[in-house]
Structure 1
């Protein structure tokens, strides 16, 4: 038996609370939580029965002496606290994006390597049950040589959601940081991690957003949309991020193939969907279709040799047993990744999981896509 690893969480919103639960589910001890607002962090700590709470991250590191830190603040606020944690010898679990730029993300990755600390990067929907199922089906050769992948999603977000970190590049906002990162992790998990080429374009459909006080939980921001958008006293701020993107990528297939696999990522953040968001993996012998923008399911298979209709394929019991018994997709994925990190820190053998290597690579790709759109 190993002693419970001590975890310090930075961030009190939706992600911070979810990370705290994930590490508790993973068998670790959440010893403290840090946030910007003294009243909010106190309330959250009491709600979650976390013994230590503060607004000073450096002091919290010194007083709590955690083995692992969990970074759950917006991406633009990641560099300094992660740097401090790594220099203190802590292992780091970080939500996406790793940082606001490829340059700073690369520095964080290199620092983690230099200090020999373990890292986990939570673009974690690659752990969705049907994504794991698709990965196994591709590895078994059921679709033959992988040929192309299609990722289509339309979120129909309200154009008047209150101004916040998601509206600014320097704060870690934008749909590439907060949607594309998940999809890249999904596709590379199923097909192969070696990205050969990428280019794309972005579009900003929301030039301004209303400024509203009181928004704390990212998932509740729709509830704070002003009732009178024409109120002359209402303040508006400029937005400088993309709300829609189209990206083309080529991957080297893990399954032997004659040519690179073509991938299309098409995301419209503010436009409505007509039919289901979906992921499709086409190959020389068959195709896999998964409903949902992150592969929520169900999963369907089309076999070229049998010339039949698409057939739904049940989720294997072994995959259900592999993952935590948690209904919520986001929480289950966080808990699975946190469990992998805790086991790894404890010296147990675990399957490969996403680290700052992927976080750094994805951020450099995002920079490239954004530059190509100017």
Structure 2
């Protein structure tokens, strides 16, 4: 008898294919995949040896009878498929953002609770080895009481990447949805999950992007940048989302007597001069991690009053899926935990629609951009 959990995938691009590989590695059976374009979904299903493919999500739920659905489309296309899957009684694994608004995300979280299905929210860069090491160091008192966190990143993204979902608020685009969700997850994993207060400001540095046909995979969109951007026949789409943000937050921590201050500074289109980084400061030291998502190396400033590079502890290294690519490895990690939980095994806390809905509500608050105080009247 085949007792494998059955998984239905929504999305045929980089994420959809990555999710399928991760669920198979976790011992589940990928029984179907759904996409928008018949020729594309059929091609992907054949390439990945997935027995069922189609473009009708509700029909696929009926035909495949999945235990789990995996949502791997842009955030603006999440709400209806997730709602239908929950109503169908499926557990749901969703990439970020959960939806395009805080209200609809909260609705899905409450629905999942009412239907008693398990959910996983893939702001999964918290599973980077150096981030897990920082979590271990902070918990062991290596920097004393944490007092402040600094997250600085500049991506220098090409301004002429073809117009698509990442340029549109209603489609789940914007740097808050696609960068801040990872960053807040990273910081809360180390400091503590409870967010006390938040303030922020956003900016659209882009304005417009060329509309180009044929872009189906997020990872290869750069290949479609027009060679002649001055071509008068080019059609342009207008961006309506942020490409840069600055956010301040306060977090509660079991390791600190006072709220921990956090700075998130991200420029999607700006070049970096020095390495992107994450720093955890404490009363007795600090942890510096190179890379915008904590790629490493990690340095500890402690009693020696010098920065010392530390290797990844063996227990953390041994627990990492043996997968190339940070994004893919983090999917494998979370999928593994999710499948274990569904199968009744004891696992550590992983993020669910509780965090997904909270983060989306935070994104809505930050985007209001109403935190400024007019000081022109002051003398």
TM-score by length of 2: 0.97
Q: Which residue of 2 aligns with 1:113?
A: 113
- Whether the aligned pair in 2 keeps the contact of 1:209 and 1:236 (CA below 8 Å) is yes
Helix, strand or coil: the match of 1:372?
coil
1:294 aligns with 2:293: yes
- Cα distance between partner residues in 2 of 1:156 and 1:328: 20
1:223 aligns with 2:223: yes
Q: Which residue of 2 aligns with 1:179?
A: 179
Q: Which residue of 1 aligns with 2:374?
A: none
1:261 aligns with 2:260: yes
Q: Which residue of 1 aligns with 2:276?
A: 277
- Cα distance between partner residues in 1 of 2:230 and 2:351: 45
1:363 aligns with 2:360: yes
C-alpha change, 1:96 and 1:103, in structure 2 (3 Å) is same
1:306 aligns with 2:304: yes
Helix, strand or coil: the match of 2:321?
coil
- Cα distance between partner residues in 2 of 1:225 and 1:373: 35
- Cα distance between partner residues in 2 of 1:140 and 1:235: 56
- Whether the aligned pair in 2 keeps the contact of 1:202 and 1:373 (CA below 8 Å) is no
- Cα distance between partner residues in 2 of 1:222 and 1:75: 20
Q: For each residue in 1:172-211, what CA deviation from the matched residue of structure 2 results, as whole angstroms up to 9, or x when unmatched?
A: 0000000000000000000001101001100001111100
Q: Which residue of 2 aligns with 1:324?
A: 321
- Whether the aligned pair in 2 keeps the contact of 1:153 and 1:267 (CA below 8 Å) is yes
Helix, strand or coil: the match of 2:274?
coil
1:1-374 matched pairs, under 5 angstroms: 3-255=3-255, 257-303=256-302, 305-307=303-305, 309-373=306-370
Helix, strand or coil: the match of 2:192?
coil
Q: For each residue in 1:254-293, what CA deviation from the matched residue of structure 2 results, as whole angstroms up to 9, or x when unmatched?
A: 21x2311000000000010001110000000110000100
- Whether the aligned pair in 2 keeps the contact of 1:12 and 1:40 (CA below 8 Å) is yes
- Cα distance between partner residues in 2 of 1:206 and 1:12: 28
Q: Which residue of 1 aligns with 2:375?
A: none
Q: How far did 1:373 drift?
A: 4.8
- Cα distance between partner residues in 1 of 2:320 and 2:108: 29
Helix, strand or coil: the match of 1:222?
helix
CA RMSD of aligned residues (A): 1.1
Moved runs in structure 1, 4+ residues, more than 2 A? Answer: none
- Whether the aligned pair in 2 keeps the contact of 1:198 and 1:249 (CA below 8 Å) is yes
The 10-residue stretch of structure 1 (172-181 or 230-239) with the greater mean CA deviation from structure 2: 230-239
- Cα distance between partner residues in 1 of 2:351 and 2:55: 29
Q: How far did 1:133 drift?
A: 0.4
| Gap regions ≥5 residues in structure 2 | 372-379
- Cα distance between partner residues in 1 of 2:240 and 2:20: 31
TM-score by length of 1: 0.98
Q: For each residue in 1:2-40, what CA deviation from the matched residue of structure 2 results, as whole angstroms up to 9, or x when unmatched?
A: 821000000000100100011011110000000000000
Q: How far did 1:347 drift?
A: 0.8
Q: For each residue in 1:126-164, what CA deviation from the matched residue of structure 2 results, as whole angstroms up to 9, or x when unmatched?
A: 001111000000000110000100000000001111000
Equivalenced residue count is 371
- Cα distance between partner residues in 2 of 1:115 and 1:327: 36
Q: Which residue of 1 aligns with 2:376?
A: none
- Cα distance between partner residues in 2 of 1:150 and 1:248: 10
C-alpha change, 1:373 and 1:207, in structure 2 (3 Å) is farther
Q: How far did 1:327 drift?
A: 2.5
- Cα distance between partner residues in 1 of 2:315 and 2:258: 32
